[in-house]
Amino acid sequence: MNLDEIKKRMDRLNGKSSGSSNGKDYKSVFWKPQEGETNYVRIVPYKHNNDIPFTELYFYFGIDKPRMISLTNFGEADPIQEFINKLRKEGDDSNKELAKKLYPKFRVFAPVVVRGEEDKGVRFWEFGKMVYQELLGVMMDEDWGDITDLTKGHDIKVEKISAKESGKIYPVTTVRVKPKPSALSDDADQVQSFLDNQENITEFFTRFEYDDMKESLRKFINAGDDTEKEEINHTGKAPATKQSIEDKLDDIF
User: For the domain that residue 104 is a member of, what is the CATH number?
Assistant: 3.90.198.10
CB 163 within 8 A of CB 194: no
Q: What is the mean pLDDT of residues 129-140?
A: 95
Give the confidence band of 12 by pLDDT, cuts at 50, 70, 90: low
**For residue 228, is pLDDT > 60?**
no
Residue 207 pLDDT: 92
Measured CA to CA, the distance from residue 125 to residue 116 in angstroms comes to 16
Q: What residue numbers bound the domain in which 41 lies? A: 3-252
Confidence (pLDDT) at 225: 40
**By three-state DSSP, how is residue 68 classified?**
strand
Lowest mean pLDDT, pick from 82-96, 132-146, 178-192: 82-96
Q: In the chain, how many domains are there?
A: 1
pTM above 0.85, yes or no: no
The mean pLDDT value for 176-200 works out to: 97
Is residue 27 within 8 A of residue 75, CB to CB? The reply is no
Quote the percentage of the chain above a pLDDT of 90.
Answer: 60
Task: With a cut of 80, say whether residue 147 has pLDDT above it.
Answer: yes
> Would you state the torsion angle of the CA atoms of residues 156, 182, 139, 158, taken in this order, to the nearest 10 degrees?
0
Instruction: Note the pLDDT of residue 251.
Output: 60
**DSSP E strands, 118-246:** 123-127, 156-161, 172-177
Q: Range with the lowest mean pLDDT among 52-61, 66-75, 84-93, 205-214?
A: 84-93
- Alpha-carbon distance of 167 to 173, in angstroms, equals 13
